[in-house]
């Protein structure tokens, strides 16, 4: 029943990774230049990447980001022509918690101890089931069983692997090194800020008008803080934050869950 939302959730994670792989690429279009400082002001902090090429900055950013033990990713991506709004906090223990919005519906996802819990509103589940061609009577009956409740998916059950992929930080970050050729030929644009943190911007333009812009932190570790992909078939923008911060995932109360096996077998929950 839930294969479609599972597929879309997986697609969201894959697209996030693909955007980064696509390139430490940046356009600084829309990035405001820092105002000139008065002569009496303190001199700006030195550029930590002053002696590096754009490609070398990208290499450091990928190395640093791959070392993260947790992060939060927020933004919109497009997969198979379908916009996905996501906000997920993920750690390196395959745990995550977050939200996804698609076709006017919203779902919440939690994964802890290798068990996945997903709770969607009626619009989310209705759109998901309708896209699979389920008849209206079946959709209505299923909605009655899961309305306001969490769908519990244990390891080995349908969709568990796909949903686990969304929460697999190690696999997500491993994709950063999939195609090193994508990290060559970059151009550094004007510096900017992401959530108050100064960043170096790296830009890469591809044939066909696709441009990817990556913002790399100039403070602390050179983490990737923002990625924007414009043009092409899968545009999107993603902000990465809360690096190495604890991800707290709460198991939903048992009386608010429906076991997927019972749902599939038609057993009353």
Checking if the pLDDT of 179 tops 70, the result is: no
User: What's residue 35's pLDDT?
Assistant: 39
**CATH-assigned architecture of domain 3-30+48-265:** Clam (2.50)
- Find out whether 234 and 79 touch, Cβ atoms under 8 Å: yes
User: What's residue 155's pLDDT?
Assistant: 86
User: What's residue 262's pLDDT?
Assistant: 73
User: What's residue 252's pLDDT?
Assistant: 96
% of the chain with per-residue pLDDT over 90: 46
Phi, psi for 26 (deg, rounded to 5):
-145, 145
Residue 174: closest CA among 27, 13, 25, 49: 13
User: What's residue 128's pLDDT?
Assistant: 79
Please write the tens of the pLDDT for every residue from 50-88: 999 999 999 999 999 999 999 999 999 876 777 889 999
Taking the C-alpha atoms of residue 87 and residue 106, their distance in angstroms, rounded to an integer, is 11
Q: Point out the least confidently predicted range of 143-147, 178-182, 199-203, 264-268.
A: 264-268
Taking the C-alpha atoms of residue 46 and residue 98, their distance in angstroms, rounded to an integer, is 37
Q: Residue 103 class from Cβ within 10 Å (0-12 exposed, 13-18 middle, 19+ buried)?
A: middle
- Highest mean pLDDT, choosing among 21-30, 153-162, 259-268: 153-162
Greater model confidence, 265 or 217: 217
Please write the tens of the pLDDT for every residue from 9-43: 433 333 332 222 233 222 222 333 333 333 333 34
> Can you give the residue ranges of every domain in the chain?
3-30+48-265
> Average of pLDDT values for 231-237?
84
Distances (CA, A) of 151 to 1, 12, 163: 11, 20, 12
- Residue 70 tokens, joined: 């947790």
Taking the C-alpha atoms of residue 208 and residue 235, their distance in angstroms, rounded to an integer, is 13
User: What's residue 3's pLDDT?
Assistant: 34
Phi, psi for 4 (deg, rounded to 5):
-65, -50
User: What's residue 216's pLDDT?
Assistant: 97
């Amino acid at each position: 029943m839930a294969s479609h939302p599972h597929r879309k959730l997986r697609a969201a994670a894959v697209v996030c990774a693909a955007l980064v792989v696509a390139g430490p690429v940046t356009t600084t279009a829309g990035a405001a230049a820092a105002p000139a400082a008065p002569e009496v002001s303190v001199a700006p902090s030195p550029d930590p990447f002053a002696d590096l090429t754009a490609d070398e900055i990208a290499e450091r950013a990928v190395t640093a980001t791959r070392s993260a033990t947790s992060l939060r990713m927020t933004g919109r991506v497009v997969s198979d022509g379908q916009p996905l709004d996501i906000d997920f906090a993920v750690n390196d223990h395959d745990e995550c918690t977050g939200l996804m919005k698609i076709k006017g519906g919203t779902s919440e996802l939690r994964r802890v101890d290798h068990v996945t819990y997903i709770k969607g509103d009626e619009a989310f589940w209705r759109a998901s089931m309708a896209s699979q061609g389920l008849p209206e009577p079946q959709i209505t009956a299923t909605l009655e069983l899961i309305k306001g409740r969490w769908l519990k998916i244990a390891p080995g059950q349908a969709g568990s692997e796909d949903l686990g992929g969304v929460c697999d930080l190690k696999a997500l970050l491993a994709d950063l090194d999939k195609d090193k050729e994508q990290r060559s030929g970059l151009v550094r644009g004007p510096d900017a800020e992401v959530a108050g943190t100064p960043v170096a911007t790296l830009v890469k333009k591809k044939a066909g008008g696709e441009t990817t812009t990556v913002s790399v932190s100039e403070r602390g570790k050179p983490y990737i803080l923002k990625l924007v992909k414009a043009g092409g078939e899968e545009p999107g923008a993603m902000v990465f934050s809360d690096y190495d911060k604890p991800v707290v995932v709460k198991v939903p109360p048992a009386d608010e869950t429906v076991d997927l096996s019972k749902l599939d077998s038609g057993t009353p929950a």
